[in-house]
Structure 1
Amino acid sequence: MSYVAPKDFAIRMVDAGQAKALMSTRDTFIRAYMAGAILALAAAFAVTVSVQTGQPLVGAVLFPVGFCMLYLLGFDLLTGVFTLVPLAWLDKRPGVTGAAVLRNWGLVFLGNFAGALTTALLMAIVFTYGFSSPPSEVGQAIGVIGEGRTVGYAEHGAAGMLTLFVRGVLCNWMVSTGVVGAMMSDSLPGKVIAMWMPIMVFFYMGFEHSVVNMFLFPIGLMLGGDFTIGDYLLWNELPTVLGNLVGGLLFVGLVIYRTHLRTSPERALR
């Protein structure tokens, strides 16, 4: 499958981070918008499959189709730029400053949210026949997801917040591994296979993905979920974003950078 060695895809990671940090505002936003919209549609697809088959594993197996599509099209998720862009700053690439990193993160967050919100509105129309009928079975299931993953955490207080954060960390450990997976091969099948595996793991395990949640929770509110915007922000989105940042950068970006690109000297033979 035209496998690319770790040292070589580590260079690709830094190159990609530099390109994203220096990208124009327009292109950064458009690519983030489309990524958020496509991933949201994949989440709606996976929930639909899970509800209609009664088998969550089937939904998890099929969910990565959206992730693969958006990355093959060159679009960007917040979880991915959390991992890649800081490496260009750490590597002292020309033009990549701390401000450039934060600018990229902010634009991608806004673009992802706008795209996910657009899909949420469109799917809410589909699930309710233009808000003229009660939500369908799938729509009701989505509303329950929003309640369980906001109020459900809040019921446990600090322990719930810790659990939410850790699920965000574990999520982007897997998702960013998928992002890197696209760089591990020069063939289309190789890229898809490498991306598919970790994304399936994250979705089936119920880890918290900030961009998927930008879809699930707004549509849950549109469909009558019993939680508030404040619940969503405090007891899901903000801790999830922080967990995604830590998971992707610490367990994927920095690890690969330090051990495959900035290696320590070899031990002398004795």
Structure 2
Amino acid sequence: MAYLAPQEFVAKMIDAGESKVFMSTRDTLIRAFMAGAILALAAAFAVTVTVQTGQPLVGAILFPVGFCLLYLLGFDLLTGVFTLVPLALIDRRPGVTAGGMLRNWTLVFFGNFAGALLVAVMMAIIFTYGFTEAPNAVGQRIGTIGEGRTVGYAAHGAAGMLTLFIRGVLCNWMVSTGVVAAMMSTSVSGKVIAMWMPIMVFFYMGFEHSIVNMYLFPSGLMLGGQFSFMDYMLWNEIPTVLGNLVGGITFVGLTLYSTHARTAPKRGLPAPAPAAHYAPAE
């Protein structure tokens, strides 16, 4: 499991951010669509495991399989590009502009949403036998998740919004650490082990991930959740996206960049003491 030094994988982070800015619209959308779809399937899998075993920890341990797969396949999540692309701008890579960064973020957002929404429709069909009967136990659980994490926050007003935002920040602190962890090793096993740990933490702790929510909440609406699309956008998706942005760039991107790519000058060492001179013995 060959390990790369921080200076090496931070250089890879900047290079990755630069390449995403210049990626074609087609490729950006395809990679974002597939990332959203695979992560949505992993979320459906984790909720199913949690409901069937009654053990949330088991679902959290298994959820990272989707994250690992999508990054090994070279697909992109909004949470990842929030961290990587700004580094290319800060590093003043030629041709990288704020407009190019915002273009990438926008395309990835809509690609992720489309992929997650497709899986939400497919899974809702499975949970209800094509909308011909009430949702099964897993479908009912997804509906209650949507209620608790929209109107549940709204019931607390500004304090609920602050809690939601902070959960978004903490989420992408962990998720972006997983993105970076994939660059720490040159072997598949090393990448998977490094990615698995922070993703498991975020999922078990119930932090808010904008792309996971692109699956859970539209799916919840289809499965009878007692909340509206506007509840979802105002009391989850928008604040979560903002929290994910702050968490990824602040606690992962900028910290690693500032200390490993733009390391501060070392403090001066004390000057060596002058050599002692001894008179020759007579």
CA offsets per residue over residues 186-245 of structure 1, 9 Å max, x none? 010000000000000000000000000000000000001000000000000000000000
Paired letter, 1:38: I
Trace 1:82-121 onto structure 2 (pairs within 5 A): 82-121=82-121
1:1-56, CA deviations, whole angstroms, 9 ceiling, x for partnerless residues?
10010000000000000000110000000000000000000000000000000000
Quote the residue 1:141 is aligned against.
141
Structure 1, residues 38-92: CA drift from partner, whole Å, max 9, x if none?
A: 0000000000000000000000000000000000000000000000000001001
User: For 2:247 and 2:269, how far apart are their aligned partners in 1?
Assistant: 36
Normalising by the residue count of structure 1, what TM-score does the alignment of the two structures yield? 1.00
Cα distance in 1 for residues equivalent to 2:40 and 2:93: 33
Give the aligned partner of residue 152 of structure 1: 152
- How far apart are 1:95 and its partner, in Å? 1.5
Distance 1:160 1:223 in 2: 24
Question: Does residue 25 of structure 1 match 2:16?
Answer: no
Is it true that 1:161 corresponds to 2:175 in the alignment?
no
1:1-270 to structure 2, matched below 5 A, reads 1-270=1-270
Amino acid at match of 2:36: G
Structure 2 CA distance for aligned equivalents of residues 104 and 11 of structure 1: 20
Q: Which amino acid aligns with 2:32?
A: A
Task: Name the SS of the counterpart of 1:230 in structure 2.
Answer: helix
Length-normalised TM-score, structure 2: 0.95
Read off the aligned partner of 1:35 and give its amino acid letter.
A
> Which residue does 2:277 correspond to in 1?
none
CA–CA distance in 2 between the matches of 1:128 and 1:96? 47
The amino acid of 2:159's aligned partner reads: A
In structure 2, distance between residues paired with 1:76 and 1:203:
19
Query: In structure 2, what is the Cα distance between the partners aligned to 1:200 and 1:63?
Result: 7
Larger radius of gyration: 2
Shift of 1:268: 1.0
Tell me the SS of whatever aligns to 1:133.
coil
Q: In 1, Cα distance between the equivalents of 2:48 and 2:250?
A: 33
- The corresponding residue for 2:279 is none
Partner deviation per Cα, 1:127-183 (whole Å, 9 max, x = no partner)? 000001100000000000000000000000000000000000000000000000000
CA RMSD of aligned residues (A): 0.3
Classify the secondary structure of the residue corresponding to 1:92.
Answer: coil
CA distance in 2, matches of 1:241, 1:68: 21
| CA–CA separation in structure 1 for the residues paired with 2:121 and 2:145 | 17
Which runs of structure 1 show a deviation greater than 4 angstroms over 4 or more consecutive aligned residues?
A: none
SS at structure 2 position matched to 1:267: coil
Residue correspondences, number: 270
Letter in 2 for 1:206: G
Q: Structure 1: where are the runs of 5+ without partners?
A: none
Structure 2 residue runs without a partner (length 5+): 271-282
